Amino acid sequence: MGYQSIIRTMRIGFMDSNYPVPPEVPEEERTAYALRHGADIGCDCMQVRYPFDAHSPDHVARYRGWMEQYGVEYDIHVMLPVFAVNGPEGGAIAAELRRRCRIVKELGMDMLRTGYGGLKIESSRFLKPRSAAQAQKESYVAAMRTCAEILEDEEVYLAVENHIDFTGKEQAELLEAIDYPFVGCAMDTANGVCVYSNPDDDIAALAPYTLTTHMKDYAVVQEILPGRIPFMPTSVAVGEGIIDFPRALQLFAKFSPRRRGLHLIVESSTSAPALGDLSASEREAAARKRIDDSVVYLRKQRDGI
């Protein structure tokens, strides 16, 4: 059975923080610059950084104005240590999570995103001894259950990225243990590579929990330094690497709880050793092209071209 009619409802965009904005653009205009460029290349969603600490009616009006002007929906990172909600500062974290839920609803959205892994062994499946790794998973589940009660009260969803911490199968088990519909996955299509998991398997495992995405692709190149693992992932435009994106979109369309209108957010990883000899401006130009080419590819996949 095909799911193209559902896939056609999905929205495509990129991360405003990931797009190399020219340095002469003032800081307060960088999000608008990214949104304007996104609209020019056919984007209809965008992951943006909202200034929660400086929240005001003026900020809400500005961000809502951009949404209407550029015809987009937002993905917004919670920017809060939610996995410490059961720790010594838990009361303050819980109160701030509730506040940020209310802010995101002021913006017209009902979802926040976050990630667990901090790109460290200590917050990954590689933590030793095994008893510590198991305790880490139990802490993960307990924290998300605490957050889920707030999320349910506020009717806001939290999408947790597979952020180079666990395999898709492991994170699916964690989400099943949490067992709250308001906590799901922000599916990064390529991060499985970095935890030695098949990313296509991770997509299949997490599709039933996927609330939003990072659409990212890696090619695998030969490592030339002796003594290292012989294969090195390197960032490429979506569709140019090892991920089976047509299959991924079918899985999202079939299983995602937010399959209609699902956000397909392009992320261009900085893991691109092939660009190592380029100047800073050349690297930025290559990164822009990688994002633009990714959007073009995803639009063709979505629209059945």
- The predicted-structure confidence for 88-107, as pLDDT tens digits, reads as follows 999 999 999 999 999 999 99
pLDDT of the residue at 222: 87
Q: State residue 194 phi and psi, 5-degree precision.
A: -80, -10
Q: Residue 299 has which token pair?
A: 């639009």
Say if CB 96 and CB 58 are below 8 A apart: no
**Where residue 52 sits, what CATH number does that domain have?**
3.20.20.150
What b/e string do you get for 66-100 counting C-beta neighbours within 10 Å, with b at 16 or more? bbeebebbbbbbbbbbbbebeeeeeeebbebbbeb
Apex 181 CA angle, 164 and 49, nearest 5? 55
Q: Which of 118, 132, 235, 117 is nearest to 166 (CA)?
A: 117
Q: What is the pTM of this model?
A: 0.95
- Distance, CA of 188 to CA of 202 (rounded, Å): 9
Please state, in angstroms and rounded to a whole number, the distance separating the CA atoms of residues 65 and 88. 39
Number of separate domains in the chain: 1
Give the chain's residues under pLDDT 70.
1, 270-276
Both tokens of 100, joined, read: 């940020």
Its domain, for residue 188, covers 4-303
Q: Quick one: which of 299, 268, 304, 272 has its CA closest to 188?
A: 268
Predicted confidence at residue 46, as pLDDT, reads: 98
Per-residue pLDDT, 276: 59
Strands 73-76 and 45-48: parallel
